[in-house]
Structure 1
Amino acid sequence: MPRAVLRYVTHRITQHPDTDVTFEAECLRCDWSATPSEDGAAVDIECMGHTGRTDHEGFRRVCTSFALVVRAG
C-alpha cells in the first residue's frame, strides 16, 4: 500500500492590496439604491436622505472587498 506524506502550510487572508472596499445600499421598500462608493459615510448619508424624502427606514447595506490568500511566514 502506498504511503502519503502530508505537509501542512499555514495561510492568512488579507484585503487585496490593489483594490478598495466598496459600500452599497438599497431600500427594502422600493427600487431605490445608493451610488456605490469607497466612502461608507457617503452611502449612509444617501440612505438618510432617502428616509427623509420617503419615510422608508430599512436598507440592505453591502461592503465588498477582494481578498488575497497567501502563505504565512
Structure 2
Amino acid sequence: MTRSILRYTKHRITQHPDTEVTFEAKCLTCGWEAEPSADGAAVDVECMSHTGRTQHNRFRRLCTSVALVERAE
C-alpha cells in the first residue's frame, strides 16, 4: 500500500503586473469586429456606433487578461 503526505498551501491569483486587460467585441449578425483595446469603454462605443450604422444589436464581448498564481505567504 502506498502512502501519501498531502500538504496544502494557500495561493492567490492576480493579474500579471506586466500586462493589461484587453477588451474585444464581435457582431453576431455580420462578423464585424471592434479594434481590441485596453479601454473597455472605447470598445463599447465602437459597438454602439456599429449598431447605429447597421441596426445590428448583438455582440460577443471578451475580456482577456494574463493571470499570475503565487503562494500566499
TM-score strictly above 0.5: yes
Describe how 1:29-48 pairs up with structure 2 within 5 A.
Answer: 29-48=29-48
How large is the Cα RMSD of the aligned pairs? 1.0
Aligned pair count reads: 73
- 3-state SS, counterpart of residue 49 of structure 2: helix
Partner of 1:64: 64
Aligned residues: percent identity?
A: 71
Aligned AA for 1:34? A
- The answer as to 2:14 corresponding to 1:14 is yes
Partner of 1:54: 54
Deviations 1:8-53 (A, max 9, x none): 1111100001000000000000020000000000000000000000
1:6 CA drift (Å): 1.7
Unmatched segments (≥5 aa) in structure 2: none
Unmatched segments (≥5 aa) in structure 1: none
TM-score, normalised via structure 2 length: 0.94
- 3-state SS, counterpart of residue 69 of structure 1: strand
TM-score, normalised via structure 1 length: 0.94
